[in-house]
Structure 1
Amino acid sequence: MERKILWIISFALIFVLWLKIDPSETQEPKTSGFSKSDTGVSDVASSKSTPEKKSTQKESKTTDALVSKNESESKGSATEAKSTGDEESAPSPKETAKQDDSPLPGSSEDEKNYFETHPIDPNKPDFAAISDVKTRKETFFDYLTPFVREKNNLLLEDRSRLKAYLDNINTLSSDDSAWINKQRKLHRLTPTDKLEKHHIETLLIKLDIIPASLVLAQAANESAWGTSRFALMGNNYFGQWCFRKGCGLVPNSRADDAAHEVRKFIDARQSVFAYIDNLNSNAAYKELRAIRADLRSRSLNISGKALAAGLIRYSQRGQAYVDEIEGLIQYNRLWRFNREIDGYVSTALNN
């Protein structure tokens, strides 16, 4: 009889404890291949200085999304010379211009002339109107990829020209020297009257390709897949800032004492060109260029996931932002948009 009573009491206690357990605490969070910013129109599609913006969902947590220690830490020949004045002090992470005579990335006379002589279709997809997630993503990638390849091909042409000059440093014409110094100024390096090999070698570190996988991942993140106000009204897919009044759109959340605007572009191609120029010239991304140069020196693939480690200063979120970009590359298999360019961009899995 006593054993039966004890059994009843035990059963009652177990039942009471079970009722107090919150089922929601045991549920695993649901993840999506499309971030919260994938729908609707957001004002600021970046996390540079807007603490109120919620970060997009991390799309992948696999260890494949991590850059190898050798790629992220090795400097090798990638170190940019300091003794020659070839690297400037670091500006704001997304700064695209200072209040001086420095040209805005993507706004040089050569590029302006190029845009005028190589017009593109001004129409762009209405990404917000595409309800199917997969279709919207593929449309977004297909729209921007040609501009990435176009810019990279131009960079490779310039690299070939520089390498030819490097082999004939003692026989440069005045026009050759002028072109090199113009490139140095555009990439925030000091022009010099007496060009030596190290001046060209340092420029080669800055004047190089950015893999499509990295460009597409950042564009998706920063523009909310092409639906942000800045992408719609300013063709700005990378959250790039400018500091001249009237150069862009004023963020709704900008502090009263701030002066930056989100730069306006003529079209998406100009935005892509300026973004790549920014990564290649801005001192904030010196580490990205060091990783890239080290990969070149060892004849390894220049992959978007490897270069993502150099974006630590692109956002105030730091490593969390880098992880998010790597996750976008991994989840969306963005390496498939890379091409074998100059033998250093791979279409292989996970690159």
Structure 2
Amino acid sequence: MVISVAAFGLYKFQFSQQDVPQTSTDNVTFIGEAVGAAPNFGAIENITVKKQSFFDYLRPGIELENQRVQKERARLLRIAGHFADEKLTGEDKDYAERLGQLYNVEVTTDGITKDWLDQMLHRVNVLPEALVLTQAANESAWGTSRFATKANNYFGQWCYSKGCGMVPLQRNDGASHEVANFKSVQESIHRYFMNVNRNRAYYDLREIRFDRQEQAKSLIDTQAAIALSNGLLKYSERGEAYVKDLQAMIRHNDKFWTDYNDLK
């Protein structure tokens, strides 16, 4: 389960993407769509069929989130270019303020700065499909957990206001957290992305990703998923054991992951 989750705003795509170039990571452009109601995964007895059904169900929603992030990053890079050329526009500043608010990196009275851009470029980036799908499988028991079926929560996200979700059956005495309730599975995916991309608990994951970007390494293949998982030590109280489980699952289910080389 997640140890700490930053406060989230309402789930909505709140930024206009008009005239934003559709740049790609690894020369791949993500095109996804919101997932609908989940199948009854518990009724699928064949393990291979269950895995394929689970991954195929969530994959379009994950691609939709990566598509959103790609567009945000493209706009951010354009703003960075304008900043370098000292040609920032009012539209740039307005967008930067809104995006900064979403990612918890405030644009101060100094306006857009090199430090602000650097922090944002660490946060606004894609996540590898294999990592997201593996965490969803691990946290939701392949879509069969009480939290997945009753609260649309596939990633074990916690919340801290009374009544915000479902009380865990084995919650420690004195603990106040609940497992967040979402209106849809797509909202759960969205909140997972925002959690990993802005929560200070996952700073290490973002640094690993940034380093891979600087070294021109893939951010979306299986090796990227394994590398970034090392930044999830604080996602579970199990720490390193949890990360090792994720890595073993990523390797074991390799045949299910999208081969992005086929899409280039």
Give the alignment's TM-score, normalised by structure 1: 0.64
Change (3 A) 1:334 1:266: farther
Using the alignment, how far apart are the partners of 2:204 and 2:243 within structure 1? 13
Give the aligned length: 242
Cα distance in 1, alignment partners of residues 101 and 169 from structure 2: 34
Residue 183 and residue 222 in structure 1: after superposition, are their counterparts in 2 closer, same or farther (change >3 A)? same
Deviations 1:1-29 (A, max 9, x none): xxxxxxxxxxxxxxxxxxxxxxxxxxxxx
Matched with 1:224 is 141
2:71 is aligned with 1:161: no
Which digits, 9 at most, give the CA deviation of each residue in 1:157-205, with x for residues without a partner?
1111111111111332333212212222222223213212231121011
Aligned to 1:152: 66
The answer to whether the 8 Å contact 1:216/1:334 transfers is no
Choose from 200, 208, 229 the match for 1:308.
229
Match in the other structure for 1:132? 46
Structure 2 contact 34–60 (Cα < 8 Å) conserved:
no
In 2, distance between residues paired with 1:188 and 1:239? 22
- Structure having the higher Rg: 1
Separation in structure 1 between the aligned mates of residue 14 and residue 182 of structure 2, nearest angstrom:
13
Q: Does 1:96 align with 2:6?
A: yes
Q: Distance in 2 between matches of 1:309 and 1:156?
A: 23
Q: Partner amino acid for 1:176?
A: D
One-letter amino acid matched to 1:95: V
**Aligned 1:264-279 pairs, distance under 5 A:** 264-279=181-196
Does the 8 Å contact 1:217/1:334 carry over to 2?
no
Asked whether the equivalents of residues 139 and 155 of structure 2 are also in contact (C-alpha less than 8 Å), the reply is yes
- Structure scoring higher RCO (CA < 8 A, sep ≥ 6) equals 1
Q: Is there any run of 5+ residues in structure 1 with no aligned partner, and where?
A: 1-45, 49-92, 98-103, 341-345
Q: Check whether the contact 1:205–1:290 (CA below 8 A) recurs between aligned residues.
A: yes
Alignment partner of 1:142 out of 50, 53, 56: 56
What amino acid is the match of 2:202? Y
Provide the secondary structure at the position in 1 that maps to 2:179: strand
The verdict on how the C-alpha distance between 1:338 and 1:216 changes in structure 2, with shifts beyond 3 A counting, is farther
Query: Which consecutive segments of 4 or more residues in structure 1 shift more than 3 A?
Result: 108-114, 118-122
The aligned residue for residue 38 of structure 1 is: none
Are 2:238 and 1:317 equivalent residues in the alignment?
A: yes
Contact 1:145/1:337 (CA < 8 Å) preserved in 2? no
Give the 5 Å matches for 1:51-90: none
- Deviation sequence 1:96-148 (CA, Å, 0-9, x none): 32xxxxxx16x35535999xxx9856422100000111110110000001111
* Superposed counterparts of 1:1-351, under 5 Å: 46=1, 93-97=3-7, 104=8, 107-111=10-14, 120=34, 122-169=36-83, 170-193=86-109, 194-302=111-219, 303-333=224-254, 336-337=257-258, 339=260
**Contact 1:241/1:263 (<8 A) preserved:** yes
The aligned amino acid for 1:226 is G
- Contact 1:304–1:335 (CA under 8 A) maintained in structure 2: no
Aligned CA-pair RMSD: 2.4
Alpha-carbon spacing, 1:226–1:182, altered in 2? closer, same or farther (3 Å): same
Check the 8 A contact 2:11/2:190 in 1, yes or no. no
Residues 201-251 of structure 1: CA deviation (Å, up to 9, x unaligned): 210110000100000110010000000000000110000001122221111
Mapped partners of 1:168, 1:175: distance in 2? 11
Segments of structure 2 that go 5 or more residues without pairing to the other structure are: 18-31
- Preserved CA contact (<8 Å) 1:211 1:338: no
In 2, distance between residues paired with 1:337 and 1:270? 23
TM-score (norm 2): 0.84
CA–CA separation in structure 2 for the residues paired with 1:335 and 1:159: 28
Contact kept, 8 Å, 2:35 with 2:58, in 1: the verdict is no
CA contact (8 A) 2:34 2:61 kept: no
Mapped partners of 2:149, 2:14: distance in 1: 23
Q: Cα distance, 1:267 vs. partner?
A: 1.4
